Amino acid sequence: MEKQLQTSYSRRYDIEGRYSALLHAGEIILCQGYDNAKPQQIAKTANVSVGLFYRHFKNKQELLTAIMVKHLGILHSQIIQELEQCHYPVQALKTVLVLTLKYFQEHQGLIKLFFMQIGYGNTTAIEKLKDTRQTYRNILQSIIARGISENIFSPLDIQIAINSIIGTINWSLYDLLIVNNQNIESDRLAERIFVYILRGLEYDNEAKNI
């Protein structure tokens, strides 16, 4: 009896665990059918109360945004870890692009759902995603700044370059997933986008003898 009470107590106050359970259950159910997904169903699947759902999220859109924040955090950790092995800006930039598109390919159902239900005009989502987006921008900024300092990339406005890279990725995915209703082929798409990005950075492959 005492052991059961301890287990119940631990479960009740495992805030992080119950929040993670909501995110996990939410991702599964929302991707199965956003319109028919109900907070009660998500809470039941997560084995938590529906009150806890509403304690964290006002609606399904906020839950979906939180799920995206979680996945972007995982992606950024993978990128940062991999970049420790990259000592050349061009290699580092391609690593970021390949890892990004590979991760999005693995979770393309979620990415498609986010495009369709949240998009770019949701002010709440913009605020929630602010820190994760800034992390990605900081990664790109470090790579581009190093490339400029080593005369690999031409001097340019770094923030505009970052906007161009992120915009190219986002709109390529939107066109592929939403407009054309196709699947992401990460390796092929990465190669195509990478050529465009290098041209934008005025990288001369032959001149650098690389």
Q: For 85-134, what is each residue's pLDDT tens digit?
A: 998 999 999 999 999 999 999 999 999 999 999 877 788 888 999 999 99
Q: What is the mean pLDDT of residues 133-152?
A: 96
pLDDT recorded at residue 32: 94
pLDDT per position as a tens digit, 36-89: 999 999 999 999 999 999 999 999 999 999 999 999 999 999 999 999 999 899
Residue 14 has what pLDDT?
Answer: 77
State the pTM of this model.
0.86
pLDDT of residue 10 exceeding 50, the answer is no
More confident: 207 or 31 = 31
| Mean per-residue pLDDT over the chain, rounded | 89
- The predicted pLDDT at position 205 comes to 57
Contact 169, 75 (CB under 8 A): no
Confidence of residue 207 (pLDDT cuts 50, 70, 90): very low
Q: Is the pLDDT of residue 145 over 80?
A: yes
pLDDT at 69: 96
pLDDT of 79: 97
Domains of the chain: 1-56 (1.10.10), 60-210 (1.10.357.10)
The confidence score (pLDDT) of residue 6 equals 40
